[in-house]
Structure 1
Amino acid sequence: MGDTQETGTGRHAVFLCHPGPASFNHAIADAYCAAVRAAGQDVVLRDLYAIGFDPVLKAAERPTNVAATYGQDVLDEIEHIAGCDVFVLIYPIWFGTPPAMLKGYVERVFGAGVQPEALQGRARTNLLGGKRLLSFSTSAASKIWLDEQGQGQGLNSVFDQYLVHAFGMRSQEHRRFAHIVPGLSARFADQYLRDVAAQAQRTCAQIAFGDEALLADPALVTRMAR
């Protein structure tokens, strides 16, 4: 499609939330970031455990306070991720939900200054409004067991869709990897990471060319794989 107009270079904020440096979650983050950079777009990686992010919301930070004040760590995080086009969450499912570290990041950083009325009205926030949400989650349980518990549907309702609606985001996608356990075969691991890279290329194409152009010409994704 010779008349396709690129909309920008693209900037991805990647939030890695796993305490183990050798975890499969770290491999997912590495694969995603490498694919984005290969496509010529920018990545801001925030490894929440590595930076020692404090997930505990402070009383002074509650948005309902008339004169809410925010810690320097929150202000620094907002500066790091401001202006990103897509927000990528990478985390394990622990006891049915994301780790407390990630939930605390949502409360302290994503939610900084956001009033309850704005959440209920699905108003676009300055930080996340109109942006894309992409999630990669892992679980040691099998897909069959997770489906029996309604894990996918439940997490989609209470986390993914909630974030999109609460902050006025544009869209959300979620890739789930089940039965991620010690001894995971190299064949499966490599396939999963290829899936991550393919998703990264697709997201880059969405940002660069727009959703409608990508639907009309799916081959545009291959232009992002250099």
Structure 2
Amino acid sequence: MSNAASSPIRHAVVLAHPDPNSFNAMIARAYCDAVEAAGQEVILRDLYAMTFDPVLKNEERPVRKGVTLAPDVRAELDMLRDTNVVTFVFPIWFGMPPAMLVGYIDRVLGAGTTVRQVQDRSAEGPLGKGHLCAITTSGAAADWLEAQGQTEALRELAGTYLFRAFAMRSSEALHIGDVVEGASSAFIEDSLQRVRKRAASICARVGQELYGTPLPPQLGDGS
């Protein structure tokens, strides 16, 4: 994570959707626009556009001595070390994140991290003391997912496990359901506005934490 005394607040948005014109891509752009509007920096990592390789190699496993990290993993780690907030944007497919995102977590976020470090919250990875946000979408309605226990499972993944595993400072999630073809323009704009509000809220809170910037009055979080 970056040094607040000398660096601007920086966000990394990790998008995991194969369609560059998808609703998820629109969400990622809306988040980025809101961060820039708040005067903070943002970098977008479109994993499919980057043709990121999600397959963990045997030599990358932390149980082995002398872990060897591939150049693409090192590049991502270098980028994340200068980042204060990491936001994942991805759809829920068959109750799970896309394999592309799981591979990114395996290869990049978990690089060199052992089970003992996860249990002790002693991992010294790129996200340590940073902030995590997960913005997810589904074709199913949010209340249906809640009834299936899927919403809680997602909260456990992003809000508990990753938060604890990588010793992060905070985590939060925003889910948008009923994302189907032919969705109305009003639904799309309302959803993107929720994303913008959440991004603005995160920017304000991190700014207060790092620089003591006063929070705007009546700040909403896009829930």
TM, length-normalised to structure 2 = 0.91
Tell me which residue corresponds to 1:219.
217
Tell me which residue corresponds to 1:192.
191
Tell me which residue corresponds to 2:36.
37
- 1:59-89 alpha-carbon deviations (Å, 9 max, x no partner): 0000111111011111111122222001100
Tell me which residue corresponds to 1:93.
92
Task: Answer yes or no: is 1:129 the counterpart of 2:131.
Answer: no
Aligned length: 216
CA–CA distance in 1 between the matches of 2:157 and 2:17?
20
Aligned-residue sequence identity (percent) comes to 43
Higher relative contact order (CA 8 A, sep 6+): 1
How far the C-alpha of 1:114 sits from its partner, in A, is 1.0
Local SS of the residue matching 2:217: helix
Task: Answer yes or no: is 1:117 the counterpart of 2:111.
Answer: no
How far the C-alpha of 1:9 sits from its partner, in A, is 3.1
CA–CA distance in 1 between the matches of 2:215 and 2:116?
40
Q: What letter matches 2:217 in structure 1?
A: A
For the Cα contact (< 8 Å) 2:135–2:173, is it kept in 1?
yes
CA–CA distance in 2 between the matches of 1:42 and 1:205?
13
Q: What letter matches 2:129 in structure 1?
A: G
Local SS of the residue matching 1:193: helix
Structure 1 runs of 4+ with >2 Å offset = 6-9
TM, length-normalised to structure 1 = 0.89
For the Cα contact (< 8 Å) 2:133–2:173, is it kept in 1?
yes
For the Cα contact (< 8 Å) 1:92–1:99, is it kept in 2?
yes
How far the C-alpha of 1:221 sits from its partner, in A, is 4.9
Q: What letter matches 1:219 in structure 2?
A: P
Q: Which sections of structure 2, spanning at least 5 residues, go unmatched?
A: none
Please tell me the root mean square deviation across aligned C-alpha atoms, in Å: 2.1
Q: Which sections of structure 1, spanning at least 5 residues, go unmatched?
A: 1-5
